[in-house]
Structure 1
Amino acid sequence: MGAIGKSATPVVATKLRLTAKAGANAVRSAPTWSQRVVDTLGGENVVDVLTRQHRQIKLAFLQAALPGPQRRRNFDRLMRLLSVHEAAEEAHVHPVARRVLRQGRELAANRLREEKEAKQLLINLRRTGPHATGYLRRLNEVRRAVTRHAAREEREEFRALRRVLSPTRLRILGAEVKLAHAYAPTRPHRWVNSEAQNKLAAPFLGPFDRALDAVHRRRVAT
């Protein structure tokens, strides 16, 4: 019995080591929560996501200026695009830039200041409405502010983030931005301008805005 016990000990130890090694390999190979989110949302680089949206917003400005029965729909789409885009940037992108980039605090502060100013112009434009006198003038005023802001983001912030962050981190941030678009407010809100304000307000303002949008669409349809 003693001989059997001694010979069995190395076998048991070997099995334990192999089991532990297999467990460790399984943990390493198992996708993390963030990686699963990235895979679900497409794994697109955040810079590519935001740059594409900048192009969509530029086109939406042109469409919102067109006369005819589609102007209201184009105007509402422009409002939604701008609102969810800026909310996602303020909640996820600028905070990362502030932490990881050289002069990140200054860059983020400048972008937030520009977004706050553009948001006020957008609120004024919404009050004017797409069929009122002065609409095209105010629309063009917002377009110039947003276009300048987007160019600075791409030149000063997005390029630097692409250099500093790893490809995986860029994809995770892209997934966070896409996820934020799903629940972000669809209308501009003057007092929501920081990371904390956006993250706290989005679960309440997002559904509220979408409910108002649904009511508005039903009224337009009737």
Structure 2
Amino acid sequence: MGHGGNVLAELMTDHREVEEMFSRIEAMTGGGQELRDLVDDVTIELVRHSVAEEQYLYPAVREYIEGGDRLADKEIADHGRVEELLKQLEKTDTEDPRTGSLLHQLMTEVSDHVQDEETNLFPKLRQVCSPETLDELGDKVRRAKAMAPTRPHPSAPDTPPGNKLLAPGVGLVDRARDFVTGRGKS
């Protein structure tokens, strides 16, 4: 969840972890509890990652990159599509025939988003931000991930100040639910 380093290193490490989880999903031959646990783990990681980006990365994109509003809006729209897919997966039994299609859509959306961030957004941010700024953003992102929700909430605000005000409370409720149910312990 928290890896250290500047914001770009932190987020790229998250990307690699999600890619590894996707590889494990693709290698599975059935559904059941093992798939449910892995989908829950992917959901937890993606939601925390997205919330942290929306709280700190995209405001920095708006502030530091020329045309940053357009870039940030596109990335937030990507997150919205992913969150909707995560919500559908949360409600779908792993034995349901739709699960495979939903997972394929999720993996495609996330892969495209990661590719876009790593080839377009991150290099632009690296060019305009000092190493100190990138380190500070990394610290903020790690703190945000620790407090973030662990379940998809598509109707929650995705821009400051609303997301910064609501996410910690929603995250607390999600983590309490996870503790009671054992979710995310795989």
Name the TM-score, length of structure 1 as normaliser. Answer: 0.75
Query: Partner letter of residue 153 of structure 2?
Result: H
Q: Does 1:47 align with 2:12?
A: no
Which residue among 198, 202, 208 is the counterpart of 2:173? 208
Summarize the Cα distance change of 1:157–1:205 in structure 2 as closer, same or farther, 3 Å threshold.
same
Give the corresponding residue for 1:114: 78
Per-residue deviation, 1:43 = 5.5
Give the corresponding residue for 1:163: 127
Q: Which runs of 5+ in 2 are unaligned?
A: none
Per-residue deviation, 1:134 = 1.6
Summarize the Cα distance change of 1:143–1:200 in structure 2 as closer, same or farther, 3 Å threshold.
same
Give the number of equivalent residue pairs. Answer: 180
After TM superposition, where is structure 1 displaced by more than 4 Å over at least 4 residues in a row?
none
1:1-222 paired onto structure 2 within 5 Å: 44-65=5-26, 66=28, 67=30, 69-192=33-156, 193-217=158-182
Higher alpha-carbon Rg: 1
Q: Which runs of 5+ in 1 are unaligned?
A: 1-40
The structure where helix makes up a greater share of residues is 1
* Higher mean displacement: 148-157 or 128-137: 128-137
Per-residue deviation, 1:79 = 0.8
Query: Partner letter of residue 60 of structure 2?
Result: V
Q: Which deviations, in whole Å up to 9, do the C-alpha atoms of 1:112-148 show, x marking residues without a partner?
A: 1111122111111111133322211111111101111
Query: Partner letter of residue 169 of structure 1?
Result: T
Summarize the Cα distance change of 1:133–1:200 in structure 2 as closer, same or farther, 3 Å threshold.
same
Report % sequence identity: 33
Contact kept in structure 1, 2:4 and 2:10, CA below 8 Å: no
Q: Is the partner of 2:8 in helix, strand or coil?
A: helix
Contact kept in structure 2, 1:91 and 1:199, CA below 8 Å: yes
Q: Which deviations, in whole Å up to 9, do the C-alpha atoms of 1:76-126 show, x marking residues without a partner?
A: 111100000000000000010011101101101111111112211111111
Give the corresponding residue for 1:3: none
Contact kept in structure 2, 1:42 and 1:175, CA below 8 Å: no
Per-residue deviation, 1:150 = 1.2
Q: Which deviations, in whole Å up to 9, do the C-alpha atoms of 1:38-62 show, x marking residues without a partner?
A: xxx8861110110111111111122
Contact kept in structure 1, 2:150 and 2:171, CA below 8 Å: yes
